[in-house]
Amino acid sequence: MSNLDKKNNHEKTTSTDVQSKRLFGVLMNPKSKNYISISAIKGIGYPLAKKICNSLSIDPEKKGLSDQDVSSIRGYIESNNIKIGGDLSSQEISNINTLIAIGCYRGRRHKLGYPVRGQRTKNNAKTSKKRRLFK
């Protein structure tokens, strides 16, 4: 069997009939475990994805989600008011703008582009220093 035949044979065995499902604008990878593909959505990490799978009795270690699973996950996320995607991003931006508006220390650091959580700026934070030069 030549290398070309092996390659063609490999392509035949790896092609699957499983379609990628879309959930909140994110493609669910059919080749990854269910909880990992759910965690691809912004705002859902591994622990929350496993919690969703367990509450909906979906096997988190199994690969590939059915259409019924995707619709039940969508219903669970909407019914429990879990912030994901664009809603989460807009809430984060709103929180930062609130800090800036009230003029607290963290707000001033955000406004100036400095590190917010107490990191040193003498040797590190090169990116924020570069941004500051061009303002």
- Decide: helix, strand or coil at residue 38: helix
Could you report the average pLDDT of every consecutive run of 10 residues in the chain (135 residues)?
53 51 84 90 92 91 88 91 88 93 92 84 73 55
pLDDT of 12: 46
CATH class label, 15-79: mainly alpha
In angstroms, rounded to a whole number, what is the distance separating the alpha carbons of residues 135 and 121?
18
- Nearest CA to 111 out of 127, 100, 126, 124 is that of 100
The answer to pTM > 0.85 is no
- Nearest CA to 67 out of 30, 15, 31, 36 is that of 30
**Both tokens of residue 127?**
């990116």
Domain ranges of the chain: 15-79, 93-133
In angstroms, rounded to a whole number, what is the distance separating the alpha carbons of residues 78 and 72?
10
Level-2 CATH architecture, domain 93-133: Irregular (4.10)
**Both tokens of residue 76?**
């669970």
